[in-house]
A and B are shown apart, each in its own frame.
Chain A
């Protein structure tokens, strides 16, 4: 193609719009901070881990009534310990998976592999969030159930409700929980959608070549 040959001829000429940098220009550049997508993802995943750990632990240490309630639910100490071990085990597993996924990202891989490793990291975070949302959902539902079952005042109120009122109360509980879960899901969708828009587009473009 003739046109591309013209372009090729011009391609290696130095352009006036970028001045040739000296070594003295380059040294300070090495000290600057990267603003790459991997770094942003890394910070988000750390924030994510800390956020959900706090959500899970703060109520237990700050609220006496919550602790009492929990103790009432888990009358068997072994069950409580076992659940704790499993919960923290899962968090540790996610930390390990995230660490491994981040380690696997290498700028010297080929373009497709690099994109895949970044998307894999994002997937680990996604599963962590889904896991937490499911746990949150189950905790809220069981919490409500136990509160009603164990609290005589609440139980009393509930026995006085007629069928229609009970139905309304339950519907409100379920709707509120669903809205809460949906809001968090939407937040993530927007956050990652925004962050990874370009990456996803380019990855799709590369994948398209393979078909």
Chain B
């Protein structure tokens, strides 16, 4: 029974792992931290999995556990004193390859998003995942109106970061 549960969980996580990677990408900025957060989110998902009911979509359920872990539960472990900032690495390669304006813009955009605080990142994450305001409000525990107002403020904040 337990093996079956484990098997179904691992299959689902493997299929939807990009969601977790995207959370990690937003909240960390190096390889080790990324892997460490991925590990912690996996543990939290696994611990909560027996209570997961099919009535919610697995991916929706993952958003919640993933963001909660990143914002609230995760403590940087000592292992993650590292090394390379991968936003830099990634964009160095791409920028050299095609010194394209859109690539340049993306580089600046990711940097700007990284400067946001944890809550703002969560809202931007849900926005990028195409979640509507009712789902954003449910995930964060704020009202829909407040989610909308905050999102506009974040967009403005990004604009100021981009065009100082």
Residue from A22, A106, A202 in contact with B14 in the complex, judged by beta carbons closer than 8 Å:
A22
Q: Note all chain A residues with C-beta closer than 8 A to B143.
A: 210
Q: A residues 1-46 with Cβ under 8 Å of B?
A: 1, 3-4, 6-8, 10-12, 14-18, 20-23, 26-27, 29-30, 32-38, 40
| Size bracket, chain A contacts | 35 or more
Chain A interface mostly: helix
- Counting chain A CB atoms within 10 Å of each CB, which of B51, B102, B113, B141 scores highest? B141
Cβ of A176 to closest chain B Cβ, rounded Å: 36
Evaluate whether A36 and B74 lie within 8 angstroms (CB atoms) in the complex, with A107-B65, A108-B51, A110-B64 already known.
Answer: yes
* Contact in complex: A3, B158 (CB < 8 Å): yes
The complex places the Cα of A100 from the Cα of B150 at a distance, in Å, of: 34
* Contact in complex: A3, B109 (CB < 8 Å): yes
Residue from B65, B102, B118 in contact with A202 in the complex, judged by beta carbons closer than 8 Å:
B118
Q: A residues 59-118 with Cβ under 8 Å of B?
A: 106-115, 118
CB-nearest residue of chain A to B146: A209
* Contact in complex: A112, B10 (CB < 8 Å): no
* Contact in complex: A206, B140 (CB < 8 Å): yes
Cβ of B38 to closest chain A Cβ, rounded Å: 8
Q: Does A160 contact B (CB under 8 A)?
A: no
Q: B residues 5-21 with Cβ under 8 Å of A?
A: 6, 9-11, 13-14, 17-18, 21
Q: List 21 interface pairs A-B (beta carbons < 8 Å), by A numbering.
A: A3-B159, A4-B158, A6-B106, A7-B110, A17-B31, A26-B10, A26-B13, A32-B43, A36-B44, A36-B73, A36-B74, A108-B64, A111-B67, A111-B68, A112-B142, A114-B72, A205-B117, A205-B118, A206-B142, A209-B147, A210-B146
Chain A residues in contact with chain B, CB under 8 A? 1, 3-4, 6-8, 10-12, 14-18, 20-23, 26-27, 29-30, 32-38, 40, 106-115, 118, 198-199, 201-202, 205-206, 209-210
Across the A-B interface, the 7 shortest Cβ-Cβ residue pairs: A112-B141, A110-B141, A36-B73, A205-B119, A17-B86, A11-B128, A34-B43
